[in-house]
Amino acid sequence: MTDELLTRVLARASDLATIHDSTKYWTAVPKIHPQASPEQIATTEAAVGFELPQLLKEILVRIGNGGFGPGYGLIGVQGGYADFKGEHLAELGQELGALDRKILPICNWGCGIYSCLHCSKPETPVSTFNPQTHALAPENLVRVSITSPSGEVTKVYEREPKPSRPSIKTPKDLRLIPHRRSFQEYISDWASGRRLWEEIEPLLS
């Protein structure tokens, strides 16, 4: 199954028109980055504190170290395709603060929205992280008192300035929206040309 799936992923990734889902928004010429080495994989696993899912490792080692796939492309390990601020899997996972739960962001859909893998589970479910959901959480709202000219006090909620990327420290703070039962299903559907964003977008509202 893995060989057949990797062949289909490579076939889609080899076409510049379909190499990732956001080519029409991307000014740079997309490319499959050179294959990751076992040493690069091991370094990333040491940095995140857990093993990467086997299928993800197979993709990075046998096809290429990111730059293709869902969203703006799979983010690679060190030396491969980096996210918009130059972050690879380990750095991005650390910044989002979910590594203690073995949750790893793997691709960016824009506006801080990521597909994330639950690496603690054998089937590796895929969820969507939406920073807007996090920013609108009750703990990020402040109570403001307004006094009218008549002396009446009205209490309203006003959102605090949203950080560029929220800091996630505890399980209750992590707003993840379930998307797919497994990473295999997720990447297989991408390889088949399924429009994953059309599934994700309605979940965000």
The reply to whether 83 falls in a domain is yes
The reply to whether 62 falls in a domain is yes
Q: Which pLDDT belongs to residue 29?
A: 84
- CATH of residue 111: 3.40.1580.10
Residues 99-144 have pLDDT tens digits of 889 999 999 999 889 999 999 999 999 999 988 765 434 444 444 4
The reply to whether 160 falls in a domain is no
Q: Which pLDDT belongs to residue 200?
A: 92
Residues 157-201 have pLDDT tens digits of 444 444 444 444 433 455 788 999 999 999 999 999 999 999 999
Q: Number of structural domains, the chain?
A: 1
pLDDT at 19 over 60: yes
How far lies 64's CA from each of 40, 74, 88, in Å? 12, 10, 14
